[in-house]
A and B are shown apart, each in its own frame.
Chain A
Amino acid sequence: MDLIQILVNGLSVGAVYGLFALGYTLVFSVLGVINFAHGAVFTLGAYFTYLLIGGAVGANGLLAGFALPFALPFWGALPLAGLGAALVALLVERVAFRPLRRRRADPLLALITSLGAGVILVNLIQLLVGAESYAIPTGALGGLPASFPLLGARVRTVQALLLAISLLLLAVLSLWLEGSRNGRGLQAVAEDAETAQLLGIDSTAMVRLAFGLSGFLAGVAGGLVGLSVSIAGPYFGIGYGLKGLAVLVLGGLGSVPGAVLGGLIVGLAEACVPAEASGWKDAVGYGFLFLVLLVRPRGLLGRPLPTKV
């Protein structure tokens, strides 16, 4: 197999995994829990993008035939869809996470409450717009060609865009985390919520910020993936959610660069699976994760979990 093609395929798939895991990791870093509604928020981002570019709802569901009275260009719709997804993520935080935090309940419970929120969202989508696939028209990128050659390999334009935007978002996020007041506040809460509180950082606001950001990233990722492949119904994000989980832990829980590194590694590893063994592809990410955890129990770039004394 030619190396360039493997690299291109692996990195572009890995970028999506990474983007997905980034949202997981932001929430994990401040709360120490995994948000199982993240996949549903991702799915919503894709639907929001579809609606904002003027797409109409199909013949099933309560909103059959509905379309927004305006149509935005794709690049205008994408950030707005991200904001919409961020709002939903904040709502999820409000109903599924905050009540538990206030009661200082076992973080384990948040796995279940967020799962419940995810189940509600997925089935709400189906109730409203039906189970059918929606697609962002291939022409949404304007005059760009569908694919282009690169050093003897062939790259789909959307995939290259996905990779570029993911890396861009990662860079912006890292700079913001290091350079801004809120970013440092977020890190401080991630480090130690109680000390941060003593230092005058509003940890509740920081948790909300983490959820908003994670929702935004998920929404944008959903819109971008929806451009690359169709929006395959209400369960669109679930498969990515599961892969994202492996990526998240592989990179190290709570580590931003870890999430992206994990994504790229899983993407590349999957791309290296030879054709004859393509049935085993889904096991590659998990197998890799499994092995890494055995050697390095906190993932590649993760901090060790605090030991109870």
Chain B
Amino acid sequence: MIPGRLHRAGTGLLALALLLAGCGGDGGKQPINLAGGVPVGAVLALTGNANVYGQDQKIGLELALKQRNGVGGINGRPLKLALEDSGSDEPGANAAFTLQINNGMLALIGPTLSQQAFSADPIAQRRGVPVVAPSNTATGIPEIGSFISRVSAQSSVIAPLAIEAALKLQPGLKRAAVFYAQDDAYSTAETTIFQQTLKGRGLDPVTVQRTQLNDQDFQNQISAALREQPDLIVLSLQAVDGGNLIRQLRELGYRGLIVAGNGMNTPNIYPICQKYCDGVLIGQAYSPELDTPANNAFLKAFRAAKGGATPPQLTAQAYTALQVVAEALVRLDKRLPLAGANLVEARKALMAEILSGSYATPLGEIRFTPEGEVIQSQFYVARVRMDPGGRSGRFALLK
């Protein structure tokens, strides 16, 4: 049916494409393109089903960019942020990472999801581009390679604190029920820690209920769990599914304590569980109530931009990620002026600079291990306090 000549022409075309593909590759001695500012790239899930995380992160990056350029940028030269959407899947993250690297970014912030990180980070590693992850909490992210770091602490350090806090509030707790979303990387990682901690305190979970990230109706799991008459319910869920689960738990008559993991540390839960959010204990890597100059400046900027609201943890972490890169760039530029430097060496030197510094951020004081894992001095447990109308609330720190 297809003419033979065309077939051959097609084969020829394919061969040509192959040839073109083979001709790529960067020179290695390329200078840094400083036109318009010092280029840093970000790759966030702005579309797809993780869009709400990307949306929160984008605000943080914008605020950090404004802050940095308000105090003179990178030693007088503005910081230039290029933001690309990764969608919520791995192919999108890979494409966006490659694009940013090809465009000569000195460092990358992102991607939003841990699964995306496992796919896209190796690209940055192979090409020697520093990555600061603002929200990946899975085990093994910094271990991807020497160029990969993160400011988002793992659940293993935060989760046990919330359980301790619950036991301090009600020492007589006996029957714990556990919920987690089995198709979500964060949830499955955190619940392991929760369950270990519970067992360590002699509180073997009476039931473990698995949900799906996109589930909205949890009556089956809830009635199954409530039959076991738990007095403590521990959730490793994200804001939307977690918020709905809390509401349904309360509506179906559960009165006991609820401990929620780090994924629900966002005011995005307020409109979901509304008045039923009240009293929930949440493990936090970021507390809006932290009273430090860095956090107060961040809060002020956030409230000016978004009108009186409380910033989510993801926003604070994204802000922190860009702050870390910017401060490292300032130090690097003093040591090795970016103007004359070549891109490959500058990226390598920047990574070393990022890891060697210590930073006063909205998250508190942070540093990095040589592998790129964040060392954060403070974690928090907050109790949600909803306003009487159930529309808004605050994360009151437990003392």
Contact = CB atoms under 8 A, between A and B. Distances in A.
Contact present between A and B (CB < 8 A): yes
Given A133-B240, A230-B271, 11 more contacts: A59-B307, A132-B52, A132-B268, A156-B219, A156-B251, A230-B243, A230-B272, A233-B240, A273-B220, A274-B224, A281-B220
Q: How large is the interface on B (under 10, 10 to 19, 20 to 34, 35 or more residues)?
A: 35 or more
A174 interface: no
A156 B254 CA distance: 13
A135 B272 contact: yes
11 contacts: A133-B52, A134-B271, A135-B271, A135-B274, A138-B274, A229-B244, A229-B248, A235-B51, A239-B215, A239-B216, A278-B224
B250 interface: yes
A275 B209 contact: yes
Nearest to A139: B390
A137 B248 contact: no
A137 B390 contact: yes
Contacts of B220: 6, 9-10, 13, 270-271, 273, 278, 281
A45 to B, nearest CB: 15
B52 A131 contact: yes
Contacts of A135: 271-272, 274
A133 B47 contact: no
Nearest to B306: A59
B211 interface: yes
Given A281-B212, A282-B212, A1 B224 contact: yes
Contacts of B75: none
A133 B272 contact: yes
A224 B47 CA distance: 26
Q: How large is the interface on A (under 10, 10 to 19, 20 to 34, 35 or more residues)?
A: 35 or more
A122 B221 CA distance: 30
B52 A233 contact: yes
Interface of A: 1, 5-6, 8-10, 12-13, 16, 59-60, 123, 126, 130-135, 137-139, 146-147, 153-154, 156, 159, 225, 228-230, 232-235, 238-239, 270-271, 273-275, 278-279, 281-282
B217 A229 contact: yes
B378 interface: no
Interface in B182-229: 182, 207-212, 214-217, 219-221, 223-225, 227
Contacts of A59: 306-307, 309
Contact of A133 (B209, B221, B268, B391): B268
Nearest to A59: B306
Nearest to A280: B210
A1 B209 CA distance: 15
A13 B275 contact: no
Interface string B134-147: 00000000000000
A54 B271 CA distance: 14
A60 B307 CA distance: 12
Most buried by B among A132, A138, A234, A279: A132
B248 A156 contact: yes
Contacts of A13: 217, 219-220
